[in-house]
Amino acid sequence: MRGLVIGLVVVGVLLALVGVWVVGINNQLVTSEQNVNEKWAQVQNVYQRRTDLIPNLVETVKGFAAQERAVLEGVTRARASATSIQLTPEALNDPQAMQKFQAAQAQLSGALSRLMLTVERYPELKSNQNFLQLQSQLEGTENRITVERQRFNTAVREYNTQLKLFPGSMVARVAGFQPKSFFEATPDAATPPKVKF
């Protein structure tokens, strides 16, 4: 009888240790997933900053470059397209949703590049303080976007690695954790925008 009690105690202790181990791994995965979601929120934050700056930039340029209506309208359309696609943390598991979001952001980046190239034709605009300040803020925002996307990709890499490494892979499979998609450059990202005057 005493051997049975000791055996049950040993089995109980082993089950408790395994339970603590599983809970610990699950908590690590939850923490990593929340880190990915936080990094994604920051990416969206800097995209929102860029979106908020664009109307001011367009209005400033409009005053100087009324004949460049097509470029300005292109920026406005690209901004509307980029703001119409919202990618929630839950949608980060969907590679197609991520590609659609990236394509809209790439379209906006291209339109802004064309706008900046058009501005080169207007020396008096380039000396305007409002424009210079907006241009500087927009350039700073583009740099922030690059940094935040890199941080997001680092968080995704760490999270996805935890999902694939043993023993995390076993717990992740049972708990339903899904890999996240990386933020990738669009296929035409290496092609500079073409501007015709």
Query: Does residue 187 lie within any of the structural domains?
Result: no
Average pLDDT over the chain, rounded to an integer:
78
Span 7-33, pLDDT tens digits: 888 888 888 888 888 888 888 988 888
Q: What is the CATH number of the domain that holds 79?
A: 1.20.1440.20
Bigger pLDDT: 73 or 174? 174
Bigger pLDDT: 49 or 69? 49
**pLDDT, mean of residues 96-113:** 80
Give φ, ψ of 195 to 5 degrees: -125, 130
Quote the radius of gyration of the chain (alpha carbons, Å).
25
Number of domains the chain contains: 1
Per the listing, tokens 């209506």 go with 69
Whether residue 179 is preceded by a cis peptide bond, meaning omega within 30 degrees of 0, is no
Query: Does residue 184 lie within any of the structural domains?
Result: no
Query: Does residue 147 lie within any of the structural domains?
Result: yes
The parent domain of residue 79 ranges over 26-175
Query: Does residue 191 lie within any of the structural domains?
Result: no
Query: Does residue 162 lie within any of the structural domains?
Result: yes
Query: Does residue 193 lie within any of the structural domains?
Result: no
Query: Does residue 138 lie within any of the structural domains?
Result: yes
Span 152-166, pLDDT tens digits: 999 999 999 998 888
Check pLDDT > 70 for residue 191: no
Query: Does residue 20 lie within any of the structural domains?
Result: no
Per the listing, tokens 């995965």 go with 29
Give CA torsion, residues 83, 86, 87, 91, to 10 deg: -150
Q: What is the distance between the alpha carbons of residues 90 and 161, in angstroms, rounded to a whole number? A: 19
Residue 111 has what pLDDT?
A: 78
Residue 61 has what pLDDT?
A: 67
Residue 138 has what pLDDT?
A: 79
